[in-house]
Amino acid sequence: MELFVAPSILSADFARLAEAAASVAGRPGTPGADWLHVDVMDNHFVPNLTLGLPVVKSIRAATEIPLDCHLMIEDPARWAPGYAEAGAHNVTFHAEATDDPAAVGRDLRKAGAKAGLALKPGTPLEPYLEILRDFDTLLVMTVEPGFGGQEFMAEVLPKVTEARRRVESGHLELRIEVDGGINADTIHAAAEAGADTFVAGSAVYNADDPAKAVAALRELAARR
């Protein structure tokens, strides 16, 4: 299983997003970010406001790194497909934000993106196991969504372990992504639990050399 590192630009300088993307791109001999994680918040689903479709379109034009859009918004049925049409590689929305997540997932795939389902820390995995068969990504939040720089919640990891078990047994076929509080001290536990895709915001963009931070996280995750 290939491990992915997805730096979250939430912790970057919003006036310099193209530079933020370039700073984690691969260089000869060093693989860079596999996905660029873009946190879309609408100040309704979460108590914070970040950026929306026009900014995602501009980032898409500014980098070759596949975009991983994490929609922390209400009414994803209405808004999510637009991110797929804008060229996002993976579009993840929250299970808590819609009563028909399976339909939103189908629409995302129809619009040409990979479909991701995100679960807040308090949301159980079991009710979604069947519909996850038609998703490409499961995003297990390891903090309450809304802000970067929060502390990792290890108590959420049993959901990662359970999802990994379902992948190993052939019931599911998807990436298992963790988001929130991932850094050099916590990534090992997430990897050991079975995550294969690691979002890191502050651990990457507060580092002196973001590309080095990405490489270091990848190495630590691979040591599980």
The annotation places the binding site for substrate at: 8, 70, 146-149, 179-181, 201-202
User: Could you please report the per-residue DSSP string of 87-144?
Assistant: T-SEEEEEGGG-S-HHHHHHHHHHTTSEEEEEE-TTS-SGGGTTGGGG-SEEEEESS-
Q: Which of 201, 214, 215, 218 binds ligand DX5 (CB under 6 A)?
A: 201
Nearer to ligand DX5 by C-beta: 148 or 194? Answer: 148
Task: Answer yes or no: 208 catalytic.
Answer: no
- Specify the DSSP element, H or E, that contains 165: helix 157-168
Q: Does 181 bind ligand DX5 (CB under 6 A)?
A: yes
CA distance 37 to 58: 14
Positions in 3-42 near ligand DX5 (CB under 6 A):
8, 10-11, 37, 39
Q: Which of 39, 107, 136, 196 is labelled catalytic?
A: 39
* Contact predicate 181/144, CB 8 Å: no
Give the residue with the Cβ less far from Zn ion, 6 or 207: 6
Residues in region 59-88 near ligand DX5 by CB under 6 A: 70
Nearest approach in angstroms of CB 173 to Zn ion is 22
Q: What are phi and psi of 130, to 5 degrees?
A: -70, -50
Counting contacts by CB under 6 A, is residue 199 touching ligand DX5?
yes
Q: Which does 32 bind (CB under 5 to 8 A by kind): Zn ion, ligand DX5, none?
A: none
Fill in the amino acid letter for 181: G
Q: 67 - beta bridge partners?
A: 36
202 binds, among ligand DX5, Zn ion, none (CB under 5 to 8 A by kind): ligand DX5
